[in-house]
Structure 1
Amino acid sequence: MDEFLILARSLITIGLVALLVMLRLEAERFGTAEYYEATRDGERPRIQRRLAWYVLGFGLSIAILLIHPAPRQDLFLGSGDQVGAVTGGIAYGLVGILMAVGFATFRYHRIRFPTAWSYPGALVNSTATAFIDEVTFRGALLGMLLVVGVDATMANITQALVYTLATRLGAPGRDRYLLILTLGIGLVGGWLTVATGGIAAAFLGHAITRFAFFLCTGHAGQTKPRAREPEEIEKRRRPPEGWRIIGSRDR
């Protein structure tokens, strides 16, 4: 009877993880994660949709924690080595900050600070997305792969690839830097999770990296294509530096 219950709870967990992956695939529809800002047609997602995505993600994560027979041991759903989690997470976050600064300097030739009113929403989005991502991919998916006997390196690569595909950042027109950054988040987070025995380090570093990207680029989601930022459009409309417009004479 006990073995049957363990099997049943494990199978239910697999279903819940599948739901989390599908939820991540639909982030664009909910206007969260990399799709936090206005949609392609210029419409801003409704707050109710965003909250629904966050609530569903947290709810499914809690359900996995309660239903799986050994979520901390098998699925890394805990802090693991607390000292290692803090130091590893901070180190990961510092690297993420450097990458965000480097990208902003390369793309905009400056740090493009966002408007003050956008900070609270971006902070919530960065933190909630990082938590849901780490529970789903570095926690549950990576843990299940290891439980069934997949090599640790192969399991890490697999979950990182699934994660990158789930973000849909490989679609045409998406920023390739974000695609590479997302793959890096998956690989580094997976390695830290196995090394520390929990997702805390990966969550901390992931959240810092996402928020740093927002602070440096002014975008909580994806950056716009070159020459499409408001200041770039305005610059094209202005005459070259040193020129001045002379009014036309009435005839």
Structure 2
Amino acid sequence: MPKIAVLQMTSGIDPEANCAAIERGAKEASEGGAGVLFTPEMSVLLDRDRKRAAPWIASNAPALMAERLAKAARDNSIDIAVGSIPVGAQDSAKFANRTFYFSAEGSEPVTYDKIHMFDVELSTGETWRESNAYEAGRKVVAVDQTPLGRLGLAICYDMRFPALFETLGSRRCDAIAIPAAFTKPTGMAHWHVLLRARAIEASAFVIAAAQVGKHEDGRETYGHSLVVDPWGEVLLDMGGEAPGLAFCDIDLARIKEVRSQVPSLANRREIPN
């Protein structure tokens, strides 16, 4: 039964400090027997001041940071699913919100660019226009070989779009990573129910490492990093108070058990327009 580790973070505007926290997490997770470490969205840099953040993102610094985290995976003999790092987008003046999956063996990382942009106006007065700075991804991505089997990749706001998870389910993903930096109001209303629904729909484990607390850039995030099993049962909830590292055992036999009881993936039909 593989064991995973989930790193709940309060990332700030200093990439060096954030990267060091992930490196420490990788060492502790490996020592605790985990095969994969999961980190939140924008693990390495969480800064809503785009003018301040842009020079770092547009430089070669994200690539160098990715190399450091790839080395941390190799040195600690643990796979690391880095929730996301902001990077320059190819063929665009905008950036990309990109997941990196680093294997302990040192193979080429698998990457996924967030597809759905968080463009909202909340009743609390919070306004977010992610599409002003970030280019939407265009590809659904799964990592075929991990300690958990096939791992689907998504990021935060993606969780509100069932079609993405229908596709990941049709690819028979055993688990899906959904790293996040969820706002507190939307988290209180929707976080648990959406993640449980996505796990049930895909008949897969959902692993959602989250940002938590008050950040240097002024935002506040919901936390409650979760691991949900294919039946929708919450196996791990790290709460909404503080960063930290937690472990969870993943019973892969549960996937077959659930899919045999409720074979929704096998029963799926095309819906006419």
Class of the TM-score when normalised by the shorter of the 2 chains? under 0.3
Higher percent of residues as helix: 1
* TM-score when normalising by structure 2: 0.23
* TM-score when normalising by structure 1: 0.24
Which is greater in Rg? 1
> Which of the pair has the greater relative contact order for Cα pairs under 8 Å at 6+ separation?
1
